[in-house]
Amino acid sequence: MAASLGFRGAASGLRYWSGRRRPVGSLAAVCSRSMASKTPVGFIGLGNMGNPMAKNLIKHGYPLILYDVFPDVCKEFKEAGEQVASSPADVAEKADRIITMLPSSMNSIEVYSGANGILKKVKKGSLLIDSSTIDPSVSKELAKEVEKMGAVFMDAPVSGGAARSGNLTFMVGGVENEFAAAQELLGCMGSNVLYCGAVGSGQSAKICNNMLLAISMIGTAEAMNLGIRSGLDPKLLAKILNMSSGRCWSSDTYNPVPGVMDGVPSSNNYQGGFGTTLMAKDLGLAQDSATSTKTPILLGSVAHQIYRMMCSKGYSKKDFSSVFQYLREEETF
71 known member of a binding site? no
Confidence of residue 162 (pLDDT cuts 50, 70, 90): low
**In the chain, where are the structural domains located?**
2-198, 205-328
282 close to 204: Cβ distance less than 8 angstroms: no
- Residue 206 designated active-site: yes
Residue 309 has pLDDT above 90, yes or no: yes
Confidence of residue 28 (pLDDT cuts 50, 70, 90): very low
For the chain, the straight-line distance linking the first and the last C-alpha, in angstroms and rounded, comes to 41
Please state which CATH class domain 2-198 belongs to.
alpha beta
Q: Quick one: pLDDT at residue 136?
A: 96
Catalytic choice (206, 235, 317, 318): 206
Of residues 105, 103, 67, the one with CA closest to residue 87: 67
Q: Quick one: pLDDT at residue 21?
A: 35
Q: Quick one: pLDDT at residue 9?
A: 36
136 known member of a binding site? no
Confidence of residue 164 (pLDDT cuts 50, 70, 90): low
For the ranges 71-80, 156-165, 217-226, 238-247, the lowest mean pLDDT is seen at 156-165
Residue 292 has pLDDT above 70, yes or no: yes
Mean pLDDT, range 238-257, rounded to an integer: 97
Q: Quick one: pLDDT at residue 34?
A: 37
For the ranges 32-41, 184-193, 296-305, the lowest mean pLDDT is seen at 32-41
41 known member of a binding site? yes
- Which CATH code is given to the segment(s) 205-328? 1.10.1040.10
Q: Quick one: pLDDT at residue 186?
A: 95
Q: Spell out the residues 6+ positions from residue 16 whose beta carbon is closer than 8 angstroms to its own.
A: 96, 97, 125, 126, 127, 152, 181
Residue 16 has pLDDT above 70, yes or no: no
What is the average pLDDT score of the chain? 88
23 known member of a binding site? no
Percent over 90 (pLDDT), the chain: 82
Residue 259 has pLDDT above 70, yes or no: yes
Mean pLDDT, range 57-70, rounded to an integer: 95
Residue 333 has pLDDT above 70, yes or no: no
Residue 51 has pLDDT above 90, yes or no: yes
210 known member of a binding site? no
Q: Quick one: pLDDT at residue 330?
A: 77
In the 3-class helix/strand/coil scheme, how is the chain assigned residue by residue? CHHHHCCCCCCCCCCCCCCCCCCCCCHHHHHCCCHHHCCCEEEECCCCCHHHHHHHHHHCCCCEEEECCCHHHHHHHHHCCCEECCCHHHHHHHCCEEEECCCCHHHHHHHHHCCCCHHHCCCCCCEEEECCCCCHHHHHHHHHHHHHCCCEEEECCEECCCCCCCCEEEEEECCHHHHHHHHHHHCCCEEEEEEEECCCHHHHHHHHHHHHHHHHHHHHHHHHHHHHHCCCCHHHHHHHHHCCCCCCHHHHCCCCCCCCCCCCHHHCCCCCCCEHHHHHHHHHHHHHHHHHHCCCCHHHHHHHHHHHHHHHCCCCCCEHHHHHHHHHHCCCC
Q: Quick one: pLDDT at residue 135?
A: 95
